[in-house]
Amino acid sequence: MSRIPLRPFLIAKDAEGAFRITVRETRLNSQRYPIVTSTLQPETFKTATAARAHAKAHLGAEAGQFASQ
């Protein structure tokens, strides 16, 4: 696995065409190997911009912390 840290907020389109936010947390085990925990948020959005605005307002996201893939 890459040692490059993941962006903590993933915005992706689901099977129904709505956008969803996944919050990712990275921690290191005793051998300093990264372990990533992903939590899909229940909210759905019509656009990626709306999802990004929600993450900034309610989840404490900042510019540069978003990924789309």
- Taking residue 47's Cβ as centre, other Cβ atoms within 10 Å add up to 11
pLDDT at residue 4, as a whole number: 62
Q: What's phi and psi for 66, nearest 5 deg? A: -110, 145
Q: Is residue 2 part of a domain?
A: no
Q: pLDDT for 7-64, tens place per residue? A: 899 999 999 999 999 999 999 999 989 899 999 999 999 999 999 999 999 999 999 9
Q: Is residue 32 part of a domain?
A: yes
CB 65 within 8 A of CB 24: no
Q: Is residue 1 part of a domain?
A: no
Q: Whole domain around residue 50: which residue ranges?
A: 9-67
Number of independent structural domains in the chain:
1
Please, is 7 exposed, middle or buried when counting C-beta atoms within 10 Å of its C-beta (0-12, 13-18, 19+)?
Answer: middle
Q: Is residue 4 part of a domain?
A: no
Whether the per-residue pLDDT at 68 is higher than 60: the answer is yes
Which amino acid, 5? Answer: P
- Taking residue 11's Cβ as centre, other Cβ atoms within 10 Å add up to 23
